Amino acid sequence: MTGGANPSSDVLKELENILDSDPFIDEVGFIHPSQFSELVKEVGSSLKDGLMESEGSEANTSDSVFWSRDHKLGISTTALLPLYRAAKHAFMEAIRQYQVLSESRGERDDSQDGNASRCTSTSISILETDIMKHSRVLLLLSCDFGTAWNFRKVVVSKIQQLHLYMDELSLSALVLSYSPKSERAWNHRRWVIKMIAGMCPNLQETVERESEFVEKLAEKSKMNYRAWNHRSWLVSYMSGEQVLSELNKSQDWAGLHVADNSCFHYRVRLLLKILAGFDKLDAGASSATSLRELWKKELNWVEMLIKRYVGREALWLHRRFLSLSWIKNFTTQVHSNSCSSCPNNMMNVEVFMDNELQLCHSCCTIPDNDFEDYQAQATFSATYIMWLVRQAAGSLPIELQKKLQENELKTVVKNVCPDKSFLWDTFNASI
Amino acid sequence: MGELAVDKHVKFILTVEKDKDSFESIVMEHIRLNGAYWGLTTLDILGKLNAVDQDEVISWMMQCQHESGGFGGNIGHDPHVLYTLSAIQVLALFDKIDVLDVDKVSNYIAGLQNEDGSFSGDMWGEIDTRFSYIAICSLALLKHLDKINVERAVNYIVSCKNLDGGFGCTPGAESHAGQIFCCVGALAITGSLHHVDKDLLGWWLCERQVKSGGLNGRPEKLPDVCYSWWVLSSLIMIDRVHWIDKEKLIRFILDSQDKENGGISDRPGDAVDIFHTYFGVAGLSLLEYRGLKAIDPAYALPVDVVNKILIGR
Ligand SMILES: [Zn+2]
């Protein structure tokens, strides 16, 4: 309608054609003009060499503001502003007309004018195609343009076809591949999954694919709250079996990314789900034992990581959670029990606390070299034990509480992290 | 390090507003209303709100309102509570809330409350404790908290509390200083702070201070000026602000200024933006830096503005 006279709408059309011709584009990059011409030159030569073998991978270098090959798309930064303006203008115009037509159709439906309403519905579906095309370009350039995501929701939920929802997952994945924190892209994903859940109740496969998607993305985008929150959100859709398998699968990743608190929180979420699903009255002794073993395994694993990776806050915080829930759910206070004579029985709360104190002491020595990490380790271990004693106070026998208070713990805290010793005073007052 | 470069920051804010030609500024146009709130609140704290033409701002802003009552981030954009709160806050700064159809706006917000007490951000249903805060803060400023079920709203927020004392965006989500500010702010406004274990949460919050004196928003993250606001305001609301080293934090914020061209960045040496300029100045205000207007930690507006609305001065 606007015609070819406007150069920026030509650029828009060109990009829309590229995107239409390759629905599998999975990476987009914005390239500085100097790098861009080099890329074109390089590819130009490889284009000649490779022409015989693989015609399919021929690079698209027309007009030299776009470059695409092997499902990768490069856009010259010189084109960004005119492209954005053209896409926004076209999109806003399309949704304006769409709203006018949708309203007028609503009115005409009552008057039963068959011809006119058929005509309107054709125009509406043309506009829907336009909205999808223009919003896609707009979102590639401005990932949190909420109105563009919203109108995509309007169109796909009207048509209600599974493959369209799948396309939305692809677009959101494409946007997230270079804007991994885009709030709107994550929201759109959740909305799509809820719609899919309404159409096909068996979500297991989708959940598994999503979980893998987040893990891959988290590799490139460290400590990404929104990404992990998305994975965490999936937990509510998981079967018991899936929860266990996620716990297994995420362990190696966590061990390689010990500073990523979000991953450890994800494990907390999984562990809590397992704990909540465990009905103490109903469950047999064997499942109680396996739950306890699972917890013990996690405690041992984190202790190993703490000793291997010195001074990592996320590990100590994970241990706070594990130890507190261990004390609250798996230990007994009966110290006259015959078990208590057994020194390795972590189920006896005194034995358990003794172990934790020892761990703390062993982490409080600071060698002369590598001072900073060991200083951090000492601080985390001292605040760990203080935190644990405070939070577990209600579950500890009075004598043990007294013993801990009289213990040299206080001196340790004052020596290791004098700036945190006020925490000692507050927790002492609260017991 | 030296002083807060007040005049430079004022100039920076006024020029950011005029920049309509760079791609970087254009792609922010969908959140321009948030930007207006950040810039104008900063100007007010600095005592320079009169540097802008308020009629011009208000007439543009009212064009962002949707027929549903909610505001979009700019003219022609879909409404969302994120921009609706900013609109109310900007009008509050100018003491012009009366230009609003208060019933219409509050009905829009109240209509987004869900059965379980949570709030959606807009008609598409994403739920987040940020939206709970926004709804509660907005309705309190409009004096229409009676339009929602406050008890359920509070219970939902409490259900997002974690074992570490912090809060996340939904039940079971990781604790995050920004979300904590929202949850604590909403509980403070509704008089429900007794649901917070103040020592436990204060503990988590004061552990956000790192060696440089700056605060991070989550364990193991780099310090960032914007958390000066989120962590600090939360600590003030739960009365544990003496648990951090204020002097070191002031120094960290001042070191993050661009002293030549104005503006504050996320941490020393990085590029400045309006968002961090606001949070830096607001943080300094909470730290009682001299010459700044006091800011209210729950409403995120200057104390005199809040008092005028809530108690008629
Ligand atoms: Zn920041």
Q: Two tokens at B57? A: 């701002």
pLDDT given for residue A223 in this prediction:
93
Query: Looking up tokens 């309107």, which residue turns up?
Result: A120
Q: pLDDT, tens digit, for every residue of A366-422?
A: 776 667 888 899 999 999 998 998 899 888 888 887 777 766 677 777 788 888 878
CA distance B243 to chain A (A): 8
Distances (CA, A) of A240 to A237, A247, A288: 10, 11, 15
Q: Is 80 exceeded by the pLDDT of residue A42?
A: no
**A47 pLDDT more than 50:** no
With an 8 Å Cβ cutoff, are A261 and B218 in contact? yes
Q: What is the pLDDT of residues A22-39, one digit of tens each?
A: 989 999 999 988 888 777
pLDDT band with cut points at 50, 70 and 90 for residue A1: very low
A177 CA → ligand 1 middle, Å: 21
Look at residue A117 in the predicted model and tell me its pLDDT. Answer: 74
pLDDT at A57 exceeding the cut of 80 = no
Question: What does residue A63 show for φ and ψ, rounded to 5 degrees?
Answer: 60, 0
What whole-number distance in Å separates Cα of residue B124 and Cα of residue B112?
10
Cα angle A272-A392-A395, degrees, rounded to a multiple of 5: 100
Chain B residues touching A305 at Cβ < 8 A:
none
Lowest mean pLDDT among A8-12, A203-207, A216-220: A8-12
CA separation for the pair B59, B40 (Å, rounded): 15
Instruction: Say whether pLDDT at A45 is over 70.
Output: no
Whether residues B26 and A84 touch (CB distance < 8 A) is answered with yes
User: How far, CA to CA in Å, does B62 sit from each of B39, B88, B127?
Assistant: 18, 11, 26
Whether residues A147 and B126 touch (CB distance < 8 A) is answered with: no
**A92/B76 Cβ within 8 A:** yes
**pLDDT reported for residue A427:** 67
Percentage of residues of chain A with pLDDT beyond 90: 58
> Among A232, A261, A313, whose Cβ lies nearest the Cβ of B173?
A232
- Of residues A52 and B145, which shows the higher confidence score? B145
The C-alpha atoms of residue A122 and residue A119 are separated, in whole angstroms, by 5
**């450890």: which residue's tokens?**
A264
Residues of chain A with Cβ-Cβ distance to B33 below 8 Å are: none
**Distance in angstroms (rounded) separating the CA atoms of residues A425 and B132:** 35
| pLDDT for residue A55 is more than 80 | no
Q: Nearest-CA distance from B252 to chain A in Å?
A: 18
A19 confidence band (pLDDT: 50, 70, 90): very high
Q: A72-76 and A27-31: which strand pairing? A: parallel
The confidence score (pLDDT) of residue B313 equals: 58
Q: What are phi and psi of A75, to 5 degrees?
A: -125, 130
The DSSP bridge partners found for residue B65 are B71
Q: What are the residues facing B209 on neighbouring strands?
A: B215
| pLDDT band at residue A283 using 50, 70 and 90 as cut-offs | low
Average pLDDT, chain A: 85
Count of CB atoms situated within 10 Å of the CB of B192: 19
The distance of A55 to chain B (nearest Cα, Å) reads 36
User: Are B225 and B279 within 8 A, CB to CB?
Assistant: yes
Asked if A191 lies within 8 A of B176 by C-beta distance, the reply is no
CB contacts, 8 Å: B170 with chain A? 229, 233
The Cα A257–Cα A219 span in angstroms is 9
Nearest to A101 by CA among A89, A112, A117: A117
Residue A361 has pLDDT above 70, yes or no: yes
C-alpha span between B199 and B218 (Å, rounded): 18
C-beta atoms of B218 and A419 within 8 A? no
The residue written with tokens 């919003």 in the block is A135
Reported ipTM: the value is 0.96
Structure confidence at residue A48 (pLDDT)? 38
Give the CA angle between residues A139, A140, A141 to the nearest 5°: 85
Alpha-carbon separation of residue B309 from A207, B88, B140, B284, B306 (angstroms): 48, 12, 10, 24, 5
The pLDDT of residue A4 is 44
Give B76-137 as a DSSP string: TPPB-HHHHHHHHHHHHHTT-GGGS-HHHHHHHHHTTB-TTS-BBSSTT--B-HHHHHHHHH
B contact test, residue of A32, A183, A265 with most B CBs within 10 A: A265
Q: Which one, of B160, B238, B162, lies nearest residue B202 by Cα? A: B238
Q: Would you state the pLDDT for residue A120? A: 81
> What is the Cα–Cα distance from A407 to B17, expressed in whole angstroms?
60
Residues (pLDDT < 50) of chain B are 1
Q: Are A319 and A267 in contact (CB under 8 A)?
A: no
Q: CB within 8 A of A427, min separation 6: which ones? A: A386, A387, A389, A390, B199
Backbone angles phi, psi at A345, to 5 degrees: -85, 95
| Res A56 pLDDT > 90 | no
User: Does the beta-carbon distance from B221 to A223 stay under 8 Å?
Assistant: yes
Q: How far is CA B49 from CA A121, B74, B94, B281, in A?
A: 51, 21, 9, 14
- What is the predicted pLDDT for the residue at B231? 98
Asked whether the predicted pLDDT for residue A339 surpasses 70, the reply is no
Q: Which residues of B touch A276 (CB under 8 A)?
A: none
B304: left (phi over 0), alpha (psi -120 to 50) or beta: alpha
Point out the least confidently predicted range of A62-76, A183-197, A305-319, A407-421.
A407-421
Looking at the DSSP bridge assignments, the partners of residue A69 are: A72
CB A161 within 8 A of CB A199: no
Distance from B27 to chain A by nearest Cα, in Å?
A: 6
> Which residues does B299 contact at the CB level (< 8 Å), separation at least 6?
B89, B137, B140, B141, B185, B189, B306
Which chain B residues are within 8 Å of A427, Cβ to Cβ? 199
Min mean pLDDT across A176-190, A260-274, A310-324, A395-409 is at: A395-409
Q: Is A13 exposed, middle or buried (0-12, 13-18, 19+ CB in 10 A)?
A: middle
How far is A186 from chain B, CA to nearest CA, in Å?
10
Nearest to A347 by CA among A418, A270, A288: A288
Judged by CB atoms closer than 8 Å, whether chains meet at B31 and A144 is answered as yes
Tokens describing residue A61: 């270098």
Q: How many Cβ pairs within 8 Å bridge chains A and B?
A: 95
pLDDT more than 70, % of chain A = 85
3-state SS class at B256: coil
Mean pLDDT of the region A1-14: 70
Which is nearest to B223 in space by CA: B181, B251, B195, B184? B251
Which among A194, A228, A423 is the nearest to B174, CB-wise? A228
Q: Are B95 and B85 in contact (CB under 8 A)?
A: no
Mean pLDDT in residue range A235-243: 92
Is pLDDT larger for residue A306 or for residue B27? A306
Residue B261 has a pLDDT of 95
pLDDT of residue B202: 97
**Partner residue facing A146 (CB), from B30, B163, B219:** B30
